[in-house]
C-alpha cells in the first residue's frame, strides 16, 4: 500500500492491475512503471485536482485507488 | 450419450485423500478437468482459429501477465459468436476505446452509487422476494425456494435501475423483462453453448428486438426529453436520473464512434452480466459455506459478520469460474517475461483462469480445497484481470468495511440475508447444473428457508 503523507490518495498494490488509467486521468499524481503497480508521486495533490482524483478512483478497473475526503 | 451418464457432469468429489469433505447435500459438479476437455472444440468452433494459432496457458503468472499486458487485446467476450449481443460493448473493447468507455461509465460504480443499489434497491427486492416465499409456504409448513428463480429476479431490480429502465413496478412488465434475460444471456455466451449456435443467435436477436422496442427505446426517449427540457431551463438537472442511458445520451462524442447497436448492447451487457454467472457463484458460495459450517461449527456465529461472508464468497469464487477460459489476441510480437513464451502478432491465447486460480505454485498443494483459513484470501481470476477486471467486482463483493461506510457487496448481502432466513440446501432435491453449456450455471438450486 502506497500512502501519500497527507493520507489523501492510496493505491492498493495488491489490487492494482497496472492499467495506467489513473496516470492518464491524473498524470501529476500517479505513475505506473512498466509492470506496475501504480505509484502515488504527488504527496500533496492540489485541491483543484480533486475531481480528477475522484475520476481516477471511479475509473480504476481494479478499484485499487482510495481518495479520502481531505483531497476532495 | 452412450455409456450412461453424460461425462460432462459428475457428482462432486468426496474422496478423503483429496482433502475434500463430504458435502452436506451432494450436488452436480462440472469438474474443472472435464470442463477443460471442452475448451478446444469451443475454441475451434466459435472463434474459427486453427489450433496452431491458439495457445492455452494455465499458470497464474502467465495468465496474470497476459491479462495485464498491452501486447494483447480482448478477443473473447464480445467476439466470436457472442458478438451478436456483446459486440461493441465495454467488455469487448481494448486500448483507448476501453479506457474511454470505462471512464464515461465510471460514475455508475462509485461508492455512493453502490451503496444506493444495495440499500435502496437490493434490500427492498430481497424483502419482497422472501415475503413471496413465505406466502408460498408448503403444506408441511416449510418455506422452499429455488435460487435459480429468486436470485436473478432480485439482481435484475438492481441492474435495470443501473441501466435506467422504467415502469418495472408493474409486475407483468417486470416479468416480461425477466423472461428475456436467459435468451439474451445465451446469445452473449454463444461461444460456450452445446446447442446449435445459429439457433441461439436467432433467439437472442428476437429477445433483443423485444428488449429494444418495449424497454430500452421508451426509457431512452423519456430521458432524452428530460435532458432537452433541462437544457431549456424547464427541468432541474437534479431531476434527471444518473444511469447508463443518460450517460450514453450525454456522451455522444464517445458512443457515436460505433453504429446504433452499441446503445442497446451496452444496456444488455449490464442486464446479462449481472444475472447468470454472479448468481450461480453466490449459490456455490452458499453451498460451500454450508459444508464448511457443518465441518466447522465453531464458525456458525460468524455468519452474521459481513467480513466472514465476504471471505466465504472470495474463497468460493476462486474455485469456480463461470467460463473455463478467456481469449486474447497478440497485437504485436511479444515474449512473456514470466515464462519466455513467445507470441507472434495475430496469435490467440486461451487463458485458463480456472486452473490458474488453483495454481499450487501460489496457493499451495491444497489449492483445490475450500479453506476459509487460507491466507491471504484470494478470489483468483474470478473477476478476470488487467483492464478487463470486471467492473461489477466492487458491486458484488464490496470491500473491507472498517469504518462502516463502504459497500458490503450485493452478493455478500444476499448470502447474509438468506443465511439469516435459515437457508439450507434441500436434501430431497440436489442442485442441478445446466446441461446445455460449458458455463458453470445452475438450472435448479432448491433450498429450504427454515427460519421464515
Task: Look at residue B68 and give its three-state secondary structure.
Answer: helix
What is the C-alpha separation between B315 and B286, in angstroms, rounded? 11
- Global pTM reads 0.91
pLDDT of chain A, 72 residues: tens digit per residue: 444 444 479 899 988 999 999 999 999 999 999 878 999 998 788 889 999 999 999 999 888 998 886 544
Residues of A in contact with B395 (CB under 8 A): none
Nearest to B106 among A17, A35, A58 (CB): A58
Nearest 10 degrees: Cα torsion B337, B342, B346, B348? -80
| Interface contact A61-B68, CB threshold 8 A | no
| Interface contact B103-A57, CB threshold 8 A | no
What is the C-alpha separation between B91 and B101, in angstroms, rounded? 10
Answer for the pair B261, B137: CB distance below 8 angstroms, yes or no.
no
Which helix (H) or strand (E) covers residue B330, if one does? strand B326-330
Answer for the pair A67, A9: CB distance below 8 angstroms, yes or no.
yes
Residues of A in contact with B387 (CB under 8 A): 17, 19, 21, 61
What is the C-alpha separation between B100 and B317, in angstroms, rounded? 29
| Interface contact B388-A25, CB threshold 8 A | no
- Give the cell for residue B25: 447435500
Nearest to B389 among A17, A35, A58 (CB): A17
Which helix (H) or strand (E) covers residue B448, if one does? strand B446-449
Residues of A in contact with B386 (CB under 8 A): 17-19, 61
Answer for the pair B268, B188: CB distance below 8 angstroms, yes or no.
yes
| Interface contact A17-B399, CB threshold 8 A | no
pLDDT score, position B8: 43
Q: How many angstroms separate the Cα of B209 from the Cα of each of B171, B189, B197?
A: 21, 18, 18
pLDDT score, position B284: 96
Task: Look at residue A25 and give its three-state secondary structure.
Answer: helix
Distance of residue A5 Cα from the nearest chain B Cα, in angstroms: 20
| Interface contact A63-B394, CB threshold 8 A | yes
Nearest to A55 among B106, B386, B388 (CB): B106
Nearest to A61 among B337, B391, B399 (CB): B391
Q: pLDDT means per 10 residues in chain B (452 residues)?
A: 38 40 78 70 74 89 95 88 91 94 93 94 97 97 97 97 97 97 95 90 97 98 98 96 97 96 97 94 97 96 95 96 90 96 95 93 94 94 92 89 81 97 96 91 96 96
Distance of residue B143 Cα from the nearest chain A Cα, in angstroms: 39
With CA atoms as reference, report the closest residue to B335 among B33, B65, B37.
B65
pLDDT score, position B34: 67
Q: Does B344 touch chain A (CB under 8 A)?
A: no
Nearest to A58 among B67, B110, B386 (CB): B110
Minimum CA–CA partner of B67 in chain A: A17
With 0-12 / 13-18 / 19 or more C-beta atoms within 10 angstroms meaning exposed / middle / buried, residue B207 is buried
Q: Does B102 touch chain A (CB under 8 A)?
A: yes
- Give the cell for residue B300: 456458525
What is the C-alpha separation between B212 and B208, in angstroms, rounded? 6
Q: What is the value of ipTM here, to two decimals?
A: 0.85
Nearest to B99 among A24, A58, A62 (CB): A24
Minimum CA–CA partner of A65 in chain B: B110
Minimum CA–CA partner of A17 in chain B: B386
Q: Does B103 touch chain A (CB under 8 A)?
A: yes
| Interface contact B107-A58, CB threshold 8 A | yes
What is the C-alpha separation between B25 and B394, in angstroms, rounded? 30
Distance of residue B323 Cα from the nearest chain A Cα, in angstroms: 20
Q: How many angstroms separate the Cα of B207 from the Cα of each of B161, B197, B255?
A: 20, 15, 23
Over residues B143-182, the pLDDT tens digits come to 999 999 999 999 999 999 999 999 999 999 999 999 999 9
Task: Look at residue A31 and give its three-state secondary structure.
Answer: strand
CB contact residues (below 8 A), chain B span 48-77, against chain A: 67-68
Show the DSSP H helices in chain A as ranges.
21-25, 50-59
Task: Look at residue A17 and give its three-state secondary structure.
Answer: coil
With 0-12 / 13-18 / 19 or more C-beta atoms within 10 angstroms meaning exposed / middle / buried, residue A12 is middle
Minimum CA–CA partner of B109 in chain A: A58
Distance of residue B443 Cα from the nearest chain A Cα, in angstroms: 31
**Cell numbers 449481443 label which residue?**
B85
Distance of residue B392 Cα from the nearest chain A Cα, in angstroms: 9
- Give the cell for residue B402: 472498517
Q: How many angstroms separate the Cα of B246 from the Cα of each of B91, B163, B165, B216, B243?
A: 20, 9, 11, 12, 6
Distance of residue B88 Cα from the nearest chain A Cα, in angstroms: 18
Amino acid at each position: 500500500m502506497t500512502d501519500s503523507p497527507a493520507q489523501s490518495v492510496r493505491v492498493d498494490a495488491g489490487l492494482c492491475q497496472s492499467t495506467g488509467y489513473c496516470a492518464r486521468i491524473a498524470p501529476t499524481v500517479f505513475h505506473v512503471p512498466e509492470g506496475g503497480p501504480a505509484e502515488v508521486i504527488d504527496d500533496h495533490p492540489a485541491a483543484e485536482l480533486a475531481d480528477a482524483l475522484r475520476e481516477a478512483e471511479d475509473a480504476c478497473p481494479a478499484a485499487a485507488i482510495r481518495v479520502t475526503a481531505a483531497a476532495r | 450419450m452412450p455409456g450412461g451418464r453424460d461425462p460432462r457432469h459428475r457428482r462432486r468429489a468426496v474422496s478423503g485423500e483429496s482433502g475434500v469433505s463430504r458435502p452436506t447435500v451432494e450436488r452436480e459438479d462440472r469438474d474443472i478437468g472435464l470442463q477443460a476437455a471442452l475448451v478446444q472444440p469451443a475454441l475451434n468452433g466459435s472463434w474459427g482459429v486453427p489450433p496452431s494459432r491458439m495457445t492455452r496457458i494455465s499458470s497464474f503468472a502467465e495468465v496474470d501477465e497476459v491479462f495485464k499486458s498491452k501486447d494483447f487485446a480482448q478477443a473473447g467476450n464480445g467476439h466470436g459468436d457472442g458478438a451478436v449481443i456483446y459486440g461493441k460493448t465495454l467488455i469487448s473493447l481494448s486500448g483507448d476505446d476501453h479506457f474511454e468507455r470505462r471512464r464515461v461509465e465510471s460514475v455508475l460504480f462509485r461508492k455512493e452509487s453502490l451503496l444506493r443499489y444495495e440499500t435502496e434497491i437490493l434490500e427492498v427486492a430481497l424483502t419482497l422476494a422472501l415475503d413471496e416465499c413465505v406466502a408460498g409456504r408448503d403444506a408441511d409448513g416449510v418455506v422452499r425456494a429455488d435460487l435459480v428463480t429468486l436470485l436473478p429476479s432480485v439482481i435484475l431490480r438492481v441492474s435495470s435501475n443501473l441501466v435506467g429502465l422504467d415502469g418495472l413496478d408493474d409486475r407483468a412488465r417486470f416479468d416480461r423483462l425477466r423472461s428475456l434475460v436467459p435468451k439474451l444471456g445465451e446469445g452473449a455466451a454463444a461461444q460456450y453453448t452445446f446447442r446449435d449456435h445459429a439457433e441461439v443467435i436467432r433467439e437472442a436477436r428476437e429477445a433483443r428486438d423485444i428488449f429494444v422496442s418495449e424497454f430500452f427505446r421508451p426509457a431512452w426517449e423519456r430521458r432524452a426529453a428530460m435532458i432537452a427540457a433541462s437544457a431549456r431551463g424547464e427541468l432541474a438537472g437534479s431531476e434527471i436520473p444518473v444511469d447508463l442511458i443518460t450517460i450514453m445520451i450525454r456522451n455522444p462524442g464517445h458512443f457515436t464512434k460505433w453504429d446504433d447497436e452499441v446503445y442497446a448492447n451496452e444496456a444488455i451487457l449490464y442486464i446479462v452480466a449481472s444475472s447468470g454467472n454472479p448468481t450461480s457463484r453466490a449459490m456455490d458460495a452458499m453451498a460451500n459455506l454450508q459444508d464448511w459450517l457443518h465441518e466447522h461449527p465453531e464458525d456458525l456465529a460468524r455468519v452474521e459478520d459481513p467480513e466472514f461472508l465476504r471471505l466465504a464468497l472470495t474463497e468460493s469464487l476462486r474455485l469456480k469460474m463461470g467460463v473455463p477460459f478467456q481469449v486474447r489476441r497478440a497485437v504485436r510480437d511479444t515474449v512473456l517475461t514470466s515464462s519466455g513464451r513467445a507470441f507472434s502478432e495475430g496469435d490467440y491465447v486461451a487463458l485458463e483462469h480456472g486452473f490458474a486460480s488453483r495454481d499450487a505454485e501460489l496457493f499451495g498443494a491444497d489449492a483445490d480445497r475450500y479453506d476459509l483459513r487460507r491466507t491471504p484470501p484470494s478470489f483468483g481470476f474470478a473477476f478476470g484481470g488487467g483492464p478487463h477486471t470486471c467492473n461489477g467486482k466492487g458491486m458484488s463483493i464490496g470491500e473491507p468495511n472498517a469504518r462502516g461506510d463502504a459497500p458490503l457487496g450485493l452478493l455478500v448481502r444476499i448470502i447474509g440475508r438468506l443465511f439469516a432466513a435459515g437457508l439450507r440446501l434441500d436434501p430431497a432435491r440436489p442442485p442441478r447444473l445446466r446441461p446445455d453449456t460449458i458455463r458453470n450455471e445452475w438450472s435448479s438450486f432448491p433450498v429450504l428457508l427454515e427460519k421464515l
